[in-house]
Amino acid sequence: MQTNLLNSWSFDQISLIRALILRDFRLKHGSGGLGILSEFLRPMVVIAAHWVMYVVLKRHMPANIPVELFLIGGFTTYFALSHSSRAKIHSKRSEIAMAVPMATDMHYRLASVIWELFTMISVCYFGLVIFIYANHTDCSPNIALNLYIFAVAALNGFGFMLVFDAATIILPFFAIVKKIVMWFIFVTGGVFFSMGDIKPILFIMTYNPLLHLIEYQRHALYKGYPILLASWIYPLETATFMLFVGLMMQRSLKRLIAE
């Protein structure tokens, strides 16, 4: 009996989040497909632009990893984290006509994060297919590790969002703090360099979970990429911590508002 109730509840939650994702499609892009296509094209254009720059500068890649895989692994992982940190809270007043019954703020957030995660995974594998076709090479990514890295990146972004959203409601100044923190995460996250390039004096950069995620993502795409200094468990620990703190802050904030 309890198992049936749990299965029914899980199906209802999945259906609700699916409805919210479809709702966002209609609000953003109407019935056209060009708007949806643009969401996939934007990160691909960013990656392509940096690829051109790296080729022109003839920059050497660590462990001879192809520049395409270096950039795909770096940018898609970063986008999965950063976009998840900007998940929507709830629908605006002007969107109330398309509101989904029984949906809470958390459902809206989860729907936004899941869509961003799906987008980055799709961009990653589309770029990988183009790379294999253009270079006529046999590239066998570690799919399990690849999906794990994307999931943990999204969880870290989701945790950051929960913490800073709650903090901003209490003290609006934290909106600026969040931008500074996300900028620091991007600059020190290894999008443009590898962990092996970090000087000992800059060891503090190794506390950035994004750096570890990107290193493992590149290893998942290219087996020869070294990961001796990276940890696959550390980003999961930071995600767990941020989610716990964020959920507790959200819960306390609701109680404070109710009183």
Structure confidence at residue 61 (pLDDT):
77
How far is the C-alpha of 242 from the C-alpha of 151, rounded, in Å? 15
What is the phi-psi region of residue 62: left when phi exceeds 0, alpha when psi lies from -120 to 50, beta otherwise?
A: beta
Give the model confidence (pLDDT) of 46-62 as tens digits.
999 999 998 888 777 77
DSSP string, the chain: -HHHHHHHHHHHHHHHHHHHHHHHHHHHHTT-SHHHHHHHHHHHHHHHHHHHHHHHHTPPPGGG--HHHHHHHHHHHHHHHHHHTT---S--GGGGGGPPTT--HHHHHHHHHHHHHHHHHHHHHHHHHHHHHHHT------HHHHHHHHHHHHHHHHHHHHHHHHHHHH-TTHHHHHHHHHHHHHHTTTSSS-GGG--GGGGGGGG-HHHHHHHHHHHHH-TTS--TT--SSHHHHHHHHHHHHHHHHHHHHHHHHH-
Structure confidence at residue 200 (pLDDT): 79
pLDDT given at position 96: 45
Find which of 25-34, 107-116, 125-134, 177-186 is predicted with most confidence, using mean pLDDT: 177-186
- Mean pLDDT across the chain: 84
HSE, CB side, 13 Å, CA atoms: give it for residue 201: 0
Q: In the chain, what's the furthest Cα-to-Cα distance?
A: 64
The residue type at 29:
H
Write out pLDDT tens, residues 226-257.
Answer: 888 899 999 999 999 999 999 999 888 888 87
Q: Per-residue pLDDT tens for 2-26?
A: 455 445 556 677 777 777 777 776 7
Query: pTM, whole model, 2 decimals?
Result: 0.87
pLDDT for 6 equals 47
CB 92 within 8 A of CB 128: no
The sign of the dihedral angle between the CA atoms of 208, 43, 122, 179 is positive
Q: Where in the chain are the domains?
A: 2-258
Tens-place pLDDT, residues 192-236: 999 888 887 788 899 999 999 999 999 999 988 988 889 999 999
As a whole number of Å, the CA-based R_g of the chain is: 20
